[in-house]
Amino acid sequence: MTDQPFHAEIDKLRAETRQRIRLIIDAAVPNVAPALGISVWQAGAPWYEAYAGWVDPETEVTPVGYRSLWDLASVSKLFTATALLRLAADFKLDLDDPIAALLPEFADGGSRGVDGGMDPLTWEVLRTPPERAEWSVDPGTVTYRQLLSHTGGLAPWRTVFRAAGPVPPPPDEVDPVAPEARGDAALAAISGYRFVARPGTEFHYSDLGFMLLGLAVARRFGGSLPDAMQALIRDRLGLDSLTYRPLAVGRPRGRIVPTEVDARWRKRRCWGEVHDENAAGLGGVAGHAGLFSTVHDVARFGVAWLRQDPRLRLPRFLRTAVTDQTPGLGAARGLGWQVQPTDHLAPFSGEAYGHTGFTGTSLAVDPRRDLVVAICTNRVYHGREPAGIDRLRLQLHSVFASTSEAGLAP
C-alpha cells in the first residue's frame, strides 16, 4: 500500500514527459520540417520512438513511420569512418599512412597552393589570406587520420559535381555514366584543387576529405562503396534499411522521405536521390553523403558503437575514434565523430559523441547514460535556411538526457 503514492507520482512524471515531447514535436512539424522521426535507446534496448508528418506533405497520403527512409546527409560520414576503421583493424591500411599510397592520383600533380576555399551558396572561390599566398602543400603528406579528423587541409566544399559528369538523370532512370567513371572524374577534380591549410595544423570540416575516404574504402575493399558498406557494416549489424540510391535498388517511393527542390542544377525535387549535389554528381554514392536509412537503424548503429558490439570488430579504435583528436585546433573531433564540447551534445555528459546532417538528421551517443538518440527530419524540404533545427535538437536532447538521468522512460 505504501508504494501506491510513489508509483502514482512516477506515472504522473512519465505522462508529463510524454506531453512535453509531444509539444516539442507538434511545434516542429511542420514549422521546422514537414516530417520527423525519433528513435531513442537506453541500456541497449528501444526506449522511445515517435514519428510525425507525411512522406509527401502535398498529398498527405502516407504518414512517415518505422519503415520510412531518410536522407542521412553527413551522418553518412560515420558509416564511411567505420568502414575505413574496419579495414585498418584488419591491417589493410594504417591510419598514419598517406592516402596517396592508395590513391596516387591525389598527389600526381605535385605540390599545390592555398586559397580561401569556396562558398557553398554562391559557388565563388573565396579570397586567399595574404599571409598564405605563397604557401605550398605536398598532397602526398595527407593521412587517413587527418582526413577522418578534418585536419587534412582540404577545403570544406567545392563544385566537384560539375567535374564529375553531366547532370544525373532522375533516380528511377539509368545513368549513362558509370559510377566508376564519375568517381574517377571526381578524384581527378579533387586532386587539382588548392588546399586551405597545411595538413595537421588546422581544423576545416571537409566534405572533400570524406569523398577521398569513400573512394579509398572502395579501392582498398576491392569493389564499390555500396559493396563495402554492405559487407563491413550493413550485413554485420543487420541494418537492412541502410542503402545508397534507394529507388535504384528497388525501395518503394512511398517509403522515401523527399527533400528540397534542386532548382539550380537538377531542376527537380530530390525524392529517392541524395540531396547533396556532390554526392549526386558521384552517382549518389559518396563517402561524405548519400546513405539512406530508417531512424531506427541509425539508432541501432549508435548502439553498436556504444555497446562496443563485437560484430564491429574495432577493438583497437572504439575509444580512439570517440576521443578528441584535434586539441587546440578550434574544434573537438574524433575519427569521424564529433566529441564534446559540441553544441548539439551540450545536454549530455562529457563523454558524449555524435554527428549531424544538413538535411536535419543527427545521432548522439552518451556512454555515461547508456543512451542513444537518433533524429531524422527533412528540414530542407522548403529550402536551406536552418529554420530552427539546432533548437529542436537541443530541446529533444535535453528532454531525453534529463529523463534518462531520472530513470523515467517516456
Half-sphere exposure at residue 68, Cβ-oriented, CA atoms within 13 angstroms: 29
User: In the predicted model, is pLDDT for residue 280 greater than 90?
Assistant: yes
Would you call 279 exposed, middle or buried from its count of C-beta atoms within 10 A (0-12, 13-18, 19+)?
buried
3-state SS assignment for residue 346: coil
Contact 378, 257 (CB under 8 A): yes
Q: Residue 30, preceding bond cis, omega within 30 degrees?
A: yes
- In 259-384, DSSP assigns E strands to 261-262, 268-269, 291-293, 338-339, 353-357, 361-366, 371-377
pTM of the model: 0.96
pLDDT of 379-402, one tens digit each? Answer: 999 998 878 999 999 999 999 999
Q: Is the pLDDT of residue 405 over 80?
A: no
Higher pLDDT, 169 or 4: 169
DSSP string, 101-117: GT-GGGGTT--B-B---
Q: Is the dihedral of CA 88, 94, 99, 101 positive or negative?
A: negative
Architecture of the domain spanning 79-226: 3-Layer(aba) Sandwich (3.40)
User: Which single residue is written with the C-alpha cell 595538413?
Assistant: 199
Pairwise CA distance, residues 10 & 408, whole Å: 8
Question: 84 and 213 in contact (C-beta within 8 Å)?
Answer: yes
d(CA 127, CA 131): 11
**Chain Cα centroid distance, residue 14:** 32
Is 33 in contact with 377 (CB distance < 8 Å)?
yes
Other C-beta atoms closer than 10 Å to the C-beta of 67 total 12
Whose cell is 554514392? That residue is: 285
404 confidence band (pLDDT: 50, 70, 90): confident
Give me the mean pLDDT over the 308-319 stretch: 94
- CATH topology match: 3-75+238-406 vs 79-226: yes
pLDDT tens digits, one per residue of 341-375: 999 999 999 999 999 999 999 999 999 999 999 99
Q: pLDDT tens digits for 95-154?
A: 999 999 999 999 999 999 999 999 988 899 999 999 999 999 999 999 999 999 999 999
Domains of the chain, residue spans:
3-75+238-406, 79-226
CA distances from 74 to 113, 183, 288, 358 (A): 27, 18, 6, 7
The domain 3-75+238-406 having CATH identifier 3.40.50.1980: the answer here is: no
3-class secondary structure per residue, 317-332: CCCHHHCCCCCCCCCC
